[in-house]
Amino acid sequence: MSGGMHVFVSASTECFRDMSLIKAMERLADLEYTAVEFAMFEDGDQLKPSQVLADVEAAVALCRNSRRLDVVAFDVRITAEKQEHYDQFTAICQMAKAAKVVTITVPSAERGTPFNEEVEHLRRLVDIATLHGVRVGIKSQMGRLSEDPDTVTVLCDNCKGLGLTMDPSPYICGSYQGRPLDKLIKYIYHTQLRDTSKKQLQVRIGQGEIEYGRLITQLQKAKYTRALSVNITEMPEVDHIGELRKLRLLLESHL
């Protein structure tokens, strides 16, 4: 496993969101990535949480047939509500355990959701995950509770075992831009990276504000030993393959 006890580079299948999961993995392997994060979105076309619940064995087989890539994380978006939500999440945890995936990323609730309600929901997810030896990280996202670094701290402190999937972009471009992020480092379970300017969530690599070297140094100091996961979506008139290659090489140069 390239997962050992060090930081390594991976990429999300969301980079090729219009392709099937298998095709996306093939493209990432062609780009010389060695590890992959599965985007598992109910509103996507790769692997839906409802499909995992319907056939956990088939989902695990996809991990075993991952085109020589180590499957290192799941990025999950469940749209089902009430008990069905937790049933799908439980199936994904079973899949994660079988595939030796350590971290599952979930969105936090939309802004305006009552705090206690969200804490209760996240605690329930963490409890389910813990039973399967898996960790839950909420994803930094605009328009959601996690866009405020202070709220992330309070959520993680109130849900024992909850961590953060750190995407620096919302903290550079969103309404809380400029807040110091150092206090978030200890909560980070996983990362998703692109480049970002103060005005645009995604810009070409090197044209934004993200200081990869500084982030990697902070993570290493905090004994972070997981993936730096590239998550670049296609932009008009930009060489997508070139961007994915560029960020892989840039991150590897810091390791």
| Digit-coded pLDDT (tens) for 103-120 | 999 999 999 999 999 999
Using the Cα atoms of residue 88, residue 58, residue 77 and residue 163 in order, give the sign of their dihedral: positive
| Digit-coded pLDDT (tens) for 7-34 | 999 999 999 999 999 999 999 999 999 9
**How far is the CA of 66 from the CAs of 8, 23, 164, 183, 214, in angstroms?**
18, 10, 26, 35, 32
pTM of the model: 0.95
**How far is the CA of 113 from the CAs of 79, 110, 117, 121, in angstroms?**
16, 6, 7, 11
| Digit-coded pLDDT (tens) for 46-91 | 999 999 999 999 999 999 988 889 999 999 999 999 999 999 999 9
Q: What is the DSSP letter of 189?
A: E
Q: Which amino acid is at 190?
A: H
User: Is the distance from CB of 74 to CB of 47 less than 8 angstroms?
Assistant: no
What are the residues whose beta carbons fall under 8 Å from the beta carbon of 252, sequence distance 6 or more? 9
Q: Which residue has the tokens 């998703």?
A: 192
Q: How confident is the model at residue 2 (pLDDT cuts 50, 70, 90)?
A: very low
CA atoms within 13 A on the CB side of 220: 11
CA atoms within 13 A on the CB side of 244: 25
| Domains located in the chain, CATH noted | 8-253 (3.20.20.150)
Residue-wise over 171-184: b if at least 16 C-beta within 10 A, else e?
bbbbebeeeebeeb
Q: Which residue has the tokens 């595939």?
A: 99
Q: How confident is the model at residue 146 (pLDDT cuts 50, 70, 90)?
A: very high
Helix (H, G, I), strand (E, B) or coil at 12: strand
Structure tokens at 235: 């932009």
